[in-house]
Amino acid sequence: MPREREHRSDKPIRLLLAEDQGMMRGALALLLGMEDDIEVVAQVASGDAIVAAALDHRPDVALLDIELPGRSGLDAAAELRERVPGCRVLILTTFGRPGYLRRAMEAGAAGFLVKDGPVEELAAAVRRVLAGETVVDPALAAAALSAGPNPLTGRERDVLEASADGATVADIAARLHLSESTVRNYLSSAIGKTGTRNRMEAMREARRQGWL
């Protein structure tokens, strides 16, 4: 296996870290900050704060969790691609779901790792994505290939996500500016595609697969 390209700049790699668990965020910031060529310039605890922090601090790499308060790291990654194009995105998550990997790549992420590796590998991944490489957990890449694409359309995902708090069909229709019959059609289609019996089971299965 070829050696990864090393970061050769005299300046340290400017890193933004998004992680909602305070202990994990602090540990990552401390350990990555001990690397000679990495400087953690911003830490945020919610997805809503990612883009603003990136605009303020102009990091070279954003290390993002997926499941964050406010908005997901995947949604933030897509906006970073548009608003801070010089920032490379590396997804680091507890949930190694094939659907998440596909969505991360579609959002423009340069890497996807799960949180069970040593910090040395994470630091190397930061350097590699900045050097222009794509870094993906090999086992997860194989699982994503075997799982196939996300079968749900964007609107089907929207109605399932709007169902998460037990909202009625009328509530979902009002929230998404759709008719109630259209919402029912989307829910029925999502239930069929997930092979489940009702919308709550469909939502759980879609989340398990990383489709939401």
As averages over each run of 10 residues, the pLDDT of the chain (212 residues) reads 47 95 93 94 96 97 93 92 94 78 86 85 94 85 63 87 85 90 89 86 81 79
Cα gap 138→103, rounded to integer Å: 16
Q: What is the pLDDT of residue 85?
A: 93
Cα separation, 155 vs 169, in Å, equals: 14
- DSSP count for the chain of H helices, then E strands: 10, 6
Question: What per-residue confidence (pLDDT) applies to 137?
Answer: 81
Whether residue 126 contacts residue 13, with contact meaning beta carbons closer than 8 Å, is answered with yes
| Of 58, 82, 76, residue with least CA distance to 20 | 76
DSSP secondary structure letter of residue 7:
P
Q: Who's near 121: CB < 8 A, 6+ residues apart?
A: 113
The three-state secondary structure class of 101 is helix
Is the overall model pTM greater than 0.85, yes or no?
A: no
What pLDDT does 16 receive? 98
